[in-house]
Amino acid sequence: LPTLYEYAQYLFNNTLRAHGAFTWKQLVHLKKNDLKETMRVVLKEQIDAGVVSAIKLADGQNLYVDVTAIEQQLDTDFGLKILS
């Protein structure tokens, strides 16, 4: 069986991969207190490692965003071809 820490890492990675950006409430939705505290440790480690960045929203919440997604260059140079 995975440890509580490993489970928190798994949940964090799945949330990050599925959404790319999330709030604390979204990350710990329906989680119990012991898992919330472990998730807080995992989140802090990921921020310190530069995996996610915290952005302060107007309502005071933090939005945690995947750093690689922010830095990714989008290719918007595509042509329009009318076929008919």
pLDDT (0 to 100) of residue 53: 94
- Greater pLDDT, 31 or 72: 31
Report the Cα–Cα distance between both ends of the chain, in Å, rounded: 60
- Greater pLDDT, 33 or 73: 33
Pairing of strands 52-56, 62-66: antiparallel
Residue 28, in any domain of the structure: yes
- Any idea what DSSP says for residue 30? T
- Greater pLDDT, 4 or 73: 4
Residue 18, in any domain of the structure: yes
Residue 38, in any domain of the structure: yes
- List of residues 6+ apart from 55 with CB closer than 8 A: 62, 63, 64, 65
Q: What span, in angstroms and rounded, lies between the C-alpha atoms of 1 and 66? A: 28
Domain of 54, CATH number, reads 1.10.10.10
pLDDT in tens, 5-61: 999 999 999 999 999 999 999 999 988 999 999 999 999 999 999 999 999 999 999
Residue 20, in any domain of the structure: yes
Residue range of the domain that includes 34:
4-68
- Greater pLDDT, 73 or 15: 15
Residue 46, in any domain of the structure: yes
